Structure 1
């Protein structure tokens, strides 16, 4: 994209305002949305009272969250939650947890950027199979894979095919480049058929001078 350089605001916001329409709204979510959907669905597993996971009442999350055996200790419980993705029950589970746990600390949920309308739109537009693929990669390396998600997400709720109802968009301004963990996520999206793209933004003034 070649856009007029704004007086204030980020390149991501400029791209969002240009790309968004009434029929296809765009949101700045970066690492928050997919993590939140995972955190809300798997809340009972994350806070399962296993030995050594919690030893004072002020834990944001389990003490072993980034340890190698975190998933292995909870594998069966995670699989039970993921099975909900195949039944359609996951939508109600996520929305109910959002309402019932509002404001309670969770290492995957950043409350200030979430609202019910965004969650409902995401649950309508992102196929459950894509969510499962994303969640499983997230669990494969929680410390690394919680970051690197694209800046924006565009929803097209009226698209006929489910896989055409959303697209994740990484925004790069002049001189910026993809980081290694972003490249790895993009490669994963391509393998899984998850719609994602990179939007390179140039400023009109810079182009005129060039």
Structure 2
């Protein structure tokens, strides 16, 4: 076969190769581009995403994947008409070209994609398609051409910032903020706008952008904390004389512990690797877990970041996540409702959610967790990792966290899953005192060159407000001998 391959010329394939391949494969059928396009459209219309395809049916039939049980209550189509669908598909194609052009460093094509996307977003703004509609229909906008173009424009912002073309980046960011009034991304856009204005020396405008952002109800979580910190830094006399009311809250000190470890590598851009006491290589999180299990207080725990919290949330909230709500389930192949990452998730189910949170606060979380786990284990659900987190670990964590703190975390995730589903501390530690009582601690671990992101800082401050025991563990190499 190798000889046959080598014998084929650049522009034609030898007859021997063709016959040999056909002898192995049998008859082959080439799908026409038109048929391929039709199948792509049918799959996207059915699944409403670019990740799933017809193999989902096969995975279910073979028992490899099990999707949750829920009712599809549909009265309104995602795409009101054919024109909207075709516009959406065209926007996706431009988005794909943009990504490929960035990968290939094709600046000319990147600029063309930015120009087209920006122009078409402006047309949608003039037609009132971007800024109209409140949070209750927010997830419908995810399937609009304007939404896709906004993602292309944001890629354009990053491109211009990388090229230090901050004026162009500022123009695009202002266009995004003008176009999308009800949007959870406004916090990130506002933060980028304030930073870029500072890059070009327009400090008064940078400060004003940050202050305006803090008045925006759609600026939340890490972006809000970042803007507050910018206002405190930029808003000193003589620009501003009045100290903001949130000053003391944002400037609160987060308790730190320092752990020494023998560093294996210290290259910039690479994850720090250490030797533990047994001489084995490990990351900073494993080194910290070893410390807390021993001299750090005899804690059990897991390196999880947001994973265990999303699993606990999904298992506890299962019946609410998959409740009978119109429009949010369109096929039997979903792992979450379409509105999970929008404000409508909480607003539509507020009564059910608050009733469950009351039970969690009253100490019933472990019972709910066990019942839900036994009923649904192995079923696919957004955020739930059945393999990584055992029921025993989840029960211990829930018991030690306590009802009040656990209800607070679940409320944050229910009200704004998009903003709060990332950035949680690296380690969840627990320590049982007896069969009924325990305590928990949340730890963000940082290596020698790491620092807290604004989202991580936001979570730590929120957790402190909820009554959690939180701290930052800084792992550093021992001082060099003198």
- Deviation (angstroms), 1:171: 0.2
Pick the aligned partner of 1:171 from 445, 468, 475.
445
User: Where does residue 293 of structure 2 map in the other structure?
Assistant: 20
User: Where does residue 260 of structure 2 map in the other structure?
Assistant: 2
State the secondary structure of the residue aligned to 2:363. coil
Q: Which has the larger radius of gyration?
A: 2
**In the aligned structure 1, how far is the partner of 2:324 from the partner of 2:284?**
43
- CA offset digits 1:94-140 (Å, max 9, x no partner): 11211221111111312221102101211221110011111112223
**In the aligned structure 2, how far is the partner of 1:61 from the partner of 1:117?**
25
- Asked if residue 135 in structure 1 is aligned to residue 449 in structure 2, the reply is no
User: Where does residue 140 of structure 2 map in the other structure?
Assistant: none
- Asked if residue 147 in structure 1 is aligned to residue 422 in structure 2, the reply is yes
**In the aligned structure 2, how far is the partner of 1:95 from the partner of 1:151?**
25
- CA offset digits 1:126-173 (Å, max 9, x no partner): 1100111111122232101011111112211118xx6x7110010000
When normalised by structure 1's length, the TM-score is 0.90
User: Where does residue 70 of structure 1 map in the other structure?
Assistant: 345
User: Normalized per residue, which structure has more helix?
Assistant: 2
Which segment is superposed worse, 83-92 or 146-155? 83-92
User: Where does residue 107 of structure 2 map in the other structure?
Assistant: none
- Deviation (angstroms), 1:23: 4.3
- Deviation (angstroms), 1:196: 0.5
Residues 112-123 of structure 1 correspond to what in structure 2 (within 5 A)? Answer: 112-123=387-398
User: Where does residue 195 of structure 1 map in the other structure?
Assistant: 469
Contact 1:95 1:119 in 2 (8 A): no
- Shift in CA distance, 122/28, structure 1 to aligned 2, threshold 3 Å: same
**In the aligned structure 1, how far is the partner of 2:362 from the partner of 2:415?**
23
- Deviation (angstroms), 1:208: 1.8
- Deviation (angstroms), 1:209: 7.2
Query: 4+ residue runs of structure 1 moved beyond 4 angstroms?
Result: none
Which consecutive unaligned segments of at least 5 residues does structure 1 have? none
**In the aligned structure 2, how far is the partner of 1:106 from the partner of 1:49?**
16
User: Where does residue 31 of structure 1 map in the other structure?
Assistant: 306
- Deviation (angstroms), 1:178: 0.4
- CA offset digits 1:8-39 (Å, max 9, x no partner): 33211111122214942121121022222221
Pick the aligned partner of 2:460 from 170, 175, 186.
186
Greater relative contact order, per chain length (Cα 8 Å cut-off, separation 6+): 1
Which segment is superposed worse, 29-38 or 44-53? 29-38
**In the aligned structure 1, how far is the partner of 2:389 from the partner of 2:301?**
14
When normalised by structure 2's length, the TM-score is 0.41
Which consecutive unaligned segments of at least 5 residues does structure 2 have? 1-258, 263-273
- Deviation (angstroms), 1:189: 1.8
User: Where does residue 157 of structure 1 map in the other structure?
Assistant: 432
**In the aligned structure 1, how far is the partner of 2:424 from the partner of 2:343?**
22
User: Where does residue 370 of structure 2 map in the other structure?
Assistant: 95
